[in-house]
Chain A
Amino acid sequence: MKVFQNISWPVPAAIVAGASLMLLQATPLLAAAPQAAGDTAWWVWVLALFLFSFLLGIVAVLAGVGGGVLFVPIVSGFFPFHLDYVRGAGLLVALAGALSAGPPLMRKGLADLKLGLPMALVGSVSSIAGALVGLAMPAQNVQLLLGIVIISIAGIMIKSGRSGYPEVSQPDRLSQMLGISGLYYEEFGQHEVFWQVHRTPQGIALFFVIGFIGGMFGLGAGFANVPVFNLLMGVPLKVAVATSGLVLSINGSAAAWVYLFKGAVLPLIAVPSIGGMMLGSKIGAKLLPKVNSRTIRMLVITILVLSGLRSLMKGLGI
């Protein structure tokens, strides 16, 4: 957490400093700026995006979901940016978050490289394919599919349970061959937890699908990675969440290159999103013990359904 705190300050600090100076110069800027969407000056949108990402960062941590899954449908629905840049920014938001949180989780043995690498290898290939397909499709079709995916994710969140320490009586042959197993210290119960996995081939197949969806829509795919690790393969929840971040950082990096080469990354949009989300996540982590996370989770599911419906409507041209 200390590392995370250290890492996360420069980006938000730069944006807050910049935005504050912009506000001081508001009058001349308002007069000088060509209008972006409607009659609103560009810096208002950038500041709004930062504040909005900040709030999303808080809510995402409290609800136990990745930021990207909330960011893309909501920002694409309510901000004037084309969906291409929102997806590009969404991937970078997920990537930056995963990179920042990674080091302490890896040192504690929670994010496991041997578990994550085979899944990331498959997922990164499909995420590149997904990004290529997504950027080649008309935005309206992507918006329609995004709506369907987001509503499905809300469905998964409602239905899927979570298992702290799933039992794996017999690891499968592939996981034995790869040597996928581990040991970590459970600080809550103060005991060591040994884990091993099963159904590795099915897991790899699902990570291929998840990677494609993540790349296509610019979503961090933690919503799907975690249930596959935890419920299908029998990975303890904490290891599943931490290793999901590792997989996400590799898949997100692969797909981000497609967006970069297609000109779908505008720093003007991406950086305030990254900064806001990271700062919000930090605050969210501090608030976590004090709030009823179940209520927040239901709120997020409701938001997801609403933003999914809005995406559907935009996709249908309504």
Chain B
Amino acid sequence: MTDKKGEKIYADRVQLAYAKTLDIVAHAVMLVIGAGYLLYIMQLLPLSVPIETVAGNWQLSSSELQAKLHLFSGWSCFASLPLLLHGDAVSYASVVMLSMATILCLATAVIVFFREKNHLFLMIAILQVVVLLVAASGVMTQSH
């Protein structure tokens, strides 16, 4: 396989597809993380919990802090649109997006493996997506 300049390409189709998706997703996520953090620390949007309060308690464990302040966890920032219009919710949502990036890339790989009829790697890639989706569903943390 060669590229447009006629130079040899050392990556196969699935790698190129994965890389393309990763490139787009990574750019988008980093932009959102940067913008979200500015909105948060500059307090350009209202906050659901003041920064000073979070900082005043960041020496507590996550379970203690949750019990005390009910900060965002899992997908809770997406519970409603008014909630998402808070600076801390936007910044938290951007971190959630970062964690979703790999799933999107793997979904691309699943499609290419399916088209290429590479059944073995199709199964591995699907299993990998399932593992990440189970983790993202919060089932493991609720039952624990």
Which residue of chain B has the shortest Cβ distance to A86 in the bound complex?
Answer: B58
Contact indicator A253/B34 (Cβ below 8 Å): no
A264–B72 alpha-carbon span in the complex (Å): 10
Known contacts A3-B23, A107-B15, A108-B11: does B58 contact A80 (CB below 8 Å)? yes
Q: Which residues of chain A (200-259) have a CB below 8 Å from chain B?
A: 249-250, 253-259
Q: Is A154 an interface residue (CB 8 A)?
A: no
Number of cross-chain contacts by CB at 8 Å = 238
Contact partners of B96 in chain A: CB under 8 A: 260
Give the nearest-CB partner of B144 in chain A. A132
**Given the complex of chains A and B, what is the CA–CA distance between A65 and B11 in angstroms?**
26
Q: Does A117 contact B (CB under 8 A)?
A: yes
B85 close to chain A: CB less than 8 A: no
B54 touches A266 (CB 8 A): yes
Given contacts A10-B31, A84-B61, whether A42 and B15 have CB atoms under 8 Å apart is no
Interface size on A, residues (CB 8 A): 89
Report whether B131 and A125 are in contact in the complex, using a CB–CB cutoff of 8 Å: yes
Q: Is the interface of B mostly helix, strand, loop or mixed?
A: helix
Q: Is the interface of A mostly helix, strand, loop or mixed?
A: helix
**Which chain B positions have C-beta within 8 A of A9?**
30, 34
Check B34 against A14 for contact (C-beta < 8 Å): yes
* Cα distance A128–B132 in the bound complex, in angstroms: 9
- Which stretch (A30-38, A67-75, A294-302) binds chain B? A30-38
- By the criterion CB–CB under 8 Å, are A274 and B33 in contact? yes
**Total chain B interface residues with beta-carbon distance under 8 A:** 73
In the complex, A258 Cα to B137 Cα: how many Å?
A: 10
Task: Give which listed residue, B22, B29, B131, contacts A124 with CB less than 8 A.
Answer: B131
Measured between alpha carbons, how far is A80 from B18 in the docked complex, in Å? 39
Q: Any chain A CB within 8 A of the CB of B138?
A: yes
Q: Name the residue on A nearest B141 (C-beta).
A: A261
A249 to B104, CA, bound (A): 12
Which residues of A come within 8 Å of B, CB atoms? Answer: 3, 6-15, 17-18, 21-22, 32-37, 42-43, 45-46, 80-82, 84-85, 88, 92, 95-96, 99-100, 102-104, 106-109, 111-114, 117-118, 120-121, 124-125, 128, 132, 135-136, 139, 177-179, 182-185, 249-250, 253-272, 274-275
- Chain B residues with CB under 8 Å of chain A are 8-11, 14-16, 18-20, 22-23, 25-27, 29-31, 33-38, 40-42, 51-56, 58-63, 65-66, 71-74, 88, 91-92, 94-96, 98-99, 101-103, 106, 109, 120-121, 124-125, 127-128, 131-132, 135-136, 138, 140-142, 144
